[in-house]
Amino acid sequence: MTVLDFAHVTKIYNVRGAGQMKALDDVSFTLQSGRTIGLVGQSGSGKSTIAKILTQLERPTSGDVLLDGAPIPQRGQALRRYRQQLRMVFQDPFASLNPYHSIRYHIERPLRLDGVVPAAQTEAEVRRLLERVRLDPQTVIDRRPHELSGGQRQRVAIARALASRPKILVADEPVSMLDVSIRLGVLNLLADLQREEGLGVLYITHDLATARHFSDEIIVLNQGRIVEQGTADDVILRPQDPYTRELRAASPDPEKHFAAQSPTGGLR
Amino acid sequence: MPGGSGSPASFLHESDTMTDTLLSVHDFSVVYDVEPPVAAVKNVSLDLRRGEILGLAGESGCGKTTLAYGVQRLLKAPAVITSGSVVFHDASGESIDVNGLDPEQMRRFRWDKVSMVFQGAMNALNPVAPIGAQLEDVFDVHRPEMSARQRRAEVKELLEIVKVGAQRIRSFPHELSGGMRQRVMIAMALALRPQLMVMDEPTTALDVLVQREILRQISQLRHEFGFSVIFITHDLPLLLEISDRIAIMRDGEIVELDTAERIWTHPKDEYTRTLLSSFPRLTGERGVVVR
Amino acid sequence: MTAVQPQLTEPIEPGRDALDVGTTATRAVHGRSRVPWRFLGSRALFYLFTLWAAITINFFLPRMMKGDAVTQYLARNRNVSPEAADALRALLGLDTDKSLLQQYLDYWSHLLRGDLGVSLLHGLRPVTEVISQALPWTIGLVGFATIVSFTIGTVGGAVIGWRRGSRLDALIPITTFLSTIPYFWLGLLAIAVFSVNLRWFPIGKAYGVGVRPEWSLEFIGQVIHHGTLPALTIVIASLGGWMLGMRNMMLTVLDEDYITVAQAKGMPNSRVLWRYAARNAVLPQIQSFALSIGFIVGGTIVMEMVFSYPGIGKLLLDATNAKDYALMQGVFLVITISVLVANILADVAYAFLDPRTRQTEA
């Protein structure tokens, strides 16, 4: 059981000419393997900052991030090992894949760099990973990203993230740039993989509906502060915080809309 | 044509002045003239009513944007309108064949009768000109009889209507937040009090709260000014809440066109059902994603 | 969508639009001056530093060269008194009994008094005098030609970019071809055709032989007459670059959404072309132009040789051959300063033309 502890993290940026900006204010949560936390927030809420801190692109101004009780290393081999454990899937399936290289190259790289399997087994492992994300290796392995659809590209990104056998997966708006009809497919894939690999998943999104269905627990961020935290159903169906209530009221909900319109469920 | 009030000629004339239909699109097709040619819109027909909000839903590549741009003749090469008619029934009673207008007539038609709110106002505003100037542009070109002072006053009023504030008149686009830029786009589209506003994913890049506010504003403006709206988006739940009717597009064709309620309660087409089921219910049952 | 836009730590004012909070720059609008002082201020500091560095390097240059120019000069001119020789050495900084620091300080004090030393090549006349005779010709001719080339090229490029795919496109390869022709060949060709054969223009020099410079209409007429061919050849040689640059920027800009919006708004084509497209596309051009101003002073030595034009380029070449260090130093200094000035102008122009630079820090 792996545990990621985000403990009382505060992040302050110094902006020249405008003083200080607090991106995160005393944010704490715990992510365990096998569980999904939905991190819900609008732009400016700080959710991207959390992703950056987890992937060590930024350091917290104060507070700790602990993986299995140990603080995240700052440099060297230890940092590399940490990075193997925590992988990220990005929002834009086109931008996160290098258009110059083949799919094989994309998935081979983490395998080679992290020495996950012996060199002789690399090709087999690449194919295995592609099958895990429900892509046909034969068709896809030699293609370049622009020859695949958005959904396929995102699956490749997921395969790449899984290559180093991480314990934690950070998914930053993984489906918001995909076509509507394939979004659930990709989310279901993530859910399956999580179950099979026992991953802890941090699902960052602005969309409450998918957060509710995909997460066990939901954290609502508003301007760098956690305003609500609880099980998915509790937060969405019985929100306590006024901001969460506002978010819920603002999200399109045809079910509620039509029920309110015509209680008889018939004519307008 | 002379005639008593009961004669056929004047009867036609009377009912002609205010038909219920604002835009008649008949058998409209657009092809992208590339190798191989791509049929983006295939024989689409629809009648847009006066004052109605018509949602145009579909996934990327279904042709909804091409259709909306096409009826305004905003498409660029290699797009070619290969068939169909677009008739605009002006409030004055005149029926305008949009495809038959020459460039100068088209230029005057634009924005005056039909205006557009574009997606991603990030880049839709000229970065080197203040927003006041970009709004005044519209009056400068379409209402040359207005004085500079009148234009300025009109622009300030527009900014107040969309709740951006008249004091922003000299701000540059990069100084405004995404939501405000979108509202400036709406103000710009509203400037000449058009009869139809085409909105292409106007809230897609915005936060849910800002989105709701803007939708509320559009609805309120619609009630106040009486224009019709064609609202293009892939976000079907959103359309279900704000539209009167919804047209579901796929592969260049309209597969279903019905009131929002009937689409929700009794979707007829298979694709409509697929699309509906792609959106997990916010407050309904869980289980869409198998955990 | 997920861009980080950090929250301001100041409290939210009541009554402000709650939807703005947490997003970019909502404060900066009120009471902000149009002049980007902070931006210009930081640039000015940077340029001052660069100027100091350039002058210091300039100081060291002749000291790094071999040979004592003064001795060579004295060998050729025997009628210079020992005191004058000493003074010359001091001026040229070849005075070895002063410490380097003292020499450096002396150099600065000379500089600030406008004393750039004397030119060995030009009969010990002050360097400032020598340069100021040549400089106006260079700046006048080359500056004028550059401005003309820039204007035609930019306007042409804008129109060609607008009418993408039309026959005007052919102008691009034509003008770029012209700019690949070696300039001296172009110059000589022009002289051969227009001066020798057609006798429309004089063969060279800035004005007639034996004529004294004065502010008279006739003299000005002569200057224009003599300057036409050099200016024309410069324009022909450099037009391609400006046109290509502007056209390419236009193509990029025309793909932007705000152009479609402008057309959808029913704006007439001329307005979209000039106020929306060209206005945005010209920004990098302005920077290039300002930078090229700096190189004007460097002089087009080839042009000056072909047309025997009395400009700075020739001056520098002669000074280098004669090891006239004071003059060389003086010319370097002038070139350095003008390049810096040009850079400053470029920054200022950009700051004024592109409102986005005023907000973000350089």
Q: Where are the domains of chain B?
A: 125-193
Stretch A173-180: mean pLDDT: 87
Q: What is the mean pLDDT of chain C?
A: 78
Percentages helix, strand, coil for chain C, rounded to the nearest 5?
70, 0, 30
- pLDDT, residue B5, reads 43
- What is the average pLDDT across B139-158? 92
Q: How confident is the model at residue C76 (pLDDT cuts 50, 70, 90)?
A: low
Query: Cα separation of B44 and B229, whole Å?
Result: 18
Give the model confidence (pLDDT) of C131-143 as tens digits.
888 888 888 888 8
Task: Calculate mean pLDDT across residues A35-44.
Answer: 89
How many cross-chain Cβ pairs, A to C, lie less than 8 Å apart? 59
How many Cβ pairs closer than 8 A exist between chain A and B?
106
Is the pLDDT score of B96 beyond 50? Answer: yes
Q: Is the peptide bond before B78 cis (omega within 30 degrees of 0)?
A: yes
A176 near C1, Cβ under 8 Å?
yes
Question: What is the DSSP secondary structure assignment for residue C13, as one 8-state letter?
Answer: P
- Top residue of A37, A178, A179 to mutate, by most chain B CBs within 10 Å, is A179
Q: Which residue has the higher pLDDT, A96 or B10?
A: A96
Domain ranges of chain C: 136-323
Give strand pairing partners of B56. B232, B247
Residue in B with minimal Cα distance to C27: B175
Contacts of A109 (CB under 8 A, 6+ apart): A160
Q: What is the pLDDT of residue C97?
A: 66
List CB contacts of B163: < 8 A, sequence separation 6 or more. Answer: B183, B217, C17
- Using CA atoms, how far residue B46 sits from B16, B26, B87, C158, in Å, is 19, 7, 11, 41
Least confident residue range of A46-50, B86-90, B148-152, C100-104: C100-104
- A-contacting chains (≥3 CB pairs under 8 Å): B, C
Contact flag A255-B284 (C-beta cutoff 8 Å): yes
According to DSSP, the β-strands at A168-172 and A86-89 are parallel
Q: What is the pLDDT of residues A56-83, one digit of tens each?
A: 888 899 998 998 888 888 788 888 888 8
Do residues C307 and C230 lie in contact, with contact meaning Cβ atoms separated by under 8 Å? yes
| Digit-coded pLDDT (tens) for A254-263 | 888 888 775 5
Segment B247-269 mean pLDDT:
93
Q: Which range among A186-200, B161-175, C200-214 shows the weakest confidence by mean pLDDT? A: C200-214
Class of the CATH domain delimited by C136-323: mainly alpha
DSSP H helices in chain B: 8-17, 64-70, 103-109, 131-142, 148-161, 178-190, 208-225, 236-242, 260-265, 270-277
**Half-sphere exposure for B75 (CA within 13 Å, toward CB):** 24
Task: Give the model confidence (pLDDT) of C287-323 as tens digits.
Answer: 888 878 777 776 678 888 888 888 888 888 888 887 7
Over pLDDT 70: what percentage of chain B?
91
Residue B18 pLDDT: 55
Distance CA A178, CA A180 (A): 6
Tell me if B56 sits within 8 A of B266, measured CB to CB.
Answer: no
User: Inter-chain contact A16–C361, Cβ cutoff 8 Å?
Assistant: yes
> Among partner residues C2, C22, C361, which is closest to A223 by beta-carbon distance?
C22
**C211-244 per-position pLDDT tens digit:** 777 778 888 888 888 888 889 999 998 899 999 9
Averaged pLDDT for residues C265-279: 90
Cα–Cα dist C274/A92, whole Å: 35
ipTM rounded to 2 decimals: 0.78
Q: pLDDT digits over C119-128, tens only? A: 777 777 888 8
The DSSP secondary-structure symbol of B110 reads: B
- Which pLDDT score is estimated for C17? 37
- The chain C residue lying nearest B169, using CA atoms, is C29
- Chain C stretch 16-45, residues whose beta carbon is closer than 8 A to a beta carbon of chain A: 21-23, 38
Nearest-CA distance C22 → chain A (Å): 5
- The residue that leads in pLDDT, B77 or B241, is B241
Computed over every residue of chain B, the mean pLDDT equals: 86
Cβ pair A21:C23 closer than 8 A: no
Q: Do B59 and A246 touch (CB under 8 A)?
A: no
Q: Place C7 in a pLDDT band, splitting at 50, 70 and 90.
A: very low
What's residue B157's pLDDT? 92
C160-180: burial string, b at 16+ Cβ within 10 Å, e else: bbbeeeeeeeebbeebeebbe
Q: Which residues from chain A sit within 8 angstroms of residue B284, using beta carbons?
A: 255
C-alpha to C-alpha distances, C114 to C117, C128, C138, C266, nearest whole angstrom: 9, 8, 21, 59
Taking the CA of residue B242 and the nearest CA in chain A, the distance in Å comes to: 9
* Residues of A with Cβ-Cβ distance to C6 under 8 angstroms: 13, 15, 21-23, 44, 46, 49, 224
Starting from the edge strand earliest in sequence, which strands make up the sheet with A19-32, in order?
A70-71, A62-67, A3-15, A19-32, C7-8
Instruction: Name the minimum distance, in Å, from the CA of C29 to any CA of chain A.
Output: 13
| Strand pairing class (A217-222; A225-231) | antiparallel
pLDDT of residue C85: 66
Q: Is the pLDDT of residue B242 over 70?
A: yes
pLDDT at C121: 76
Question: Taking a C-beta distance cutoff of 8 angstroms, is the pair C44, C38 a contact?
Answer: no
Q: Categorize the per-residue pLDDT at B41 as very low, low, confident or very high, splitting at 50, 70 and 90.
A: very high
- What is the structure's pLDDT at C123? 75
Subunit partners of chain B (3 or more CB pairs within 8 A):
A, C
How far is residue C1's CA from residue B276's CA, in Å, rounded to a whole number? 24
Q: pLDDT tens-digit profile of A82-129? A: 888 899 998 888 888 998 999 999 999 999 988 888 989 999 999 999
- What's the domain count of chain A? 1
For all residues of chain A together, what is the average pLDDT?
88
Pick the range with the lowest mean pLDDT from A3-12, A211-220, B275-284, C58-67: C58-67
Q: Taking CB atoms and an 8 Å limit, are A172 and C23 in contact across chains?
A: no
With CA atoms as reference, the chain C residue closest to B125 would be C258
Q: Is B61 within 8 Å of chain C by CB?
A: no
Contacts of B242 (CB under 8 A, 6+ apart): B53, B55, B215, B218, B219, B231
Best of C2, C5, C24 to disrupt the A interface by mutation (most A CBs within 10 Å)?
C2
- Which has the higher per-residue pLDDT, C362 or A160? A160
Phi, psi of B95, rounded to the nearest 5 degrees: -110, 120
Look at B237-251, C13-27, C143-157, C246-260 and tell me which has the smallest mean pLDDT. C13-27
Of B257, B263, B270, B221, nearest to B238 by C-alpha is B263
pLDDT given for residue B34 in this prediction: 87
CA distance C262 to C265: 5
The alpha carbon of residue A206 is apart from the nearest alpha carbon of chain C, in Å, by 9
Mean pLDDT of the B73-93 span? 89
What per-residue confidence (pLDDT) applies to C324?
A: 78
C208 or A186: which leads in pLDDT: A186
Contact A257 B212 (CB under 8 A): no
Where is average pLDDT lowest: B170-174, C8-12, C335-339? C8-12
pLDDT of C18 over the 70 cut = no
Whether residue C258 contacts residue B124, with contact meaning beta carbons closer than 8 Å, is answered with yes
Chosen from C5, C7, C42 to mutate, greatest number of chain A CBs within 10 A: C7
Mean local confidence (pLDDT), A169-195: 90
A267, part of any domain: no
Average of per-residue pLDDT across C132-158: 90
- Mutation target to probe the B interface, by most B beta carbons within 10 A, among C1, C4, C19 is C19
Nearest to B275 among A180, A188, A237 (CB): A180
C-alpha–C-alpha distance, residues A172 and A211, integer Å: 12
Residues on chain B touching A40 (C-beta within 8 angstroms):
none
- Measured distance between the N- and C-terminal CA atoms of chain B, rounded to whole angstroms: 73
The pair of three-digit structure tokens given for residue C219, joined into one six-digit string: 């003299």
3-state secondary structure of A267: coil
Choose among C42, C50, C37: nearest CA to C340.
C50
Contact list, B111 vs chain C (CB under 8 Å): 264-266
**Rounded CA separation B130/C254 (Å):** 19
Q: Which residues of A touch B210 (CB under 8 A)?
A: 42
- Tell me which chain A residues have a C-beta less than 8 angstroms from the C-beta of B261: 258, 261-262, 268
Shortest distance between the Cα of B115 and any Cα of chain C, in A, equals 7
Asked if the Cβ–Cβ distance from C22 to A45 is below 8 Å, we say yes
Reported as a pLDDT band with limits 50, 70 and 90, residue B269 is very high
pLDDT exceeds 80 at position B132: yes
- pLDDT for C2 beyond 70: no
Q: Which of B107, B124, B163 is nearest residue C17 as measured by Cβ atoms?
A: B163
Interval B224-242 mean pLDDT = 91
Say if residue B264's pLDDT is above 70: yes
| pLDDT tens digits for range B151-207 | 999 999 999 988 888 998 998 988 888 888 888 999 999 999 999 999 998 888 788
Instruction: Give the per-residue pLDDT at A259.
Output: 83
A22 contacts C6? CB cut-off 8 A: yes
Q: Within 13 A of B207's CA, how many CA atoms are on the CB side?
A: 25
The residue type found at C95 is D
- Contact list in B for residue C7 (CB cut-off 8 A) is none
Q: Is B58 helix (H, G, I), strand (E, B) or coil?
A: coil
Residues of the domain holding A117? 3-261
Confirm whether pTM is higher than 0.80. Answer: no
In this complex, which of A20, A23, A48 lies closest to C2 when CB atoms are compared? Answer: A48
Task: Indicate yes or no: CB of B212 within 8 angstroms of CB of A262.
Answer: no
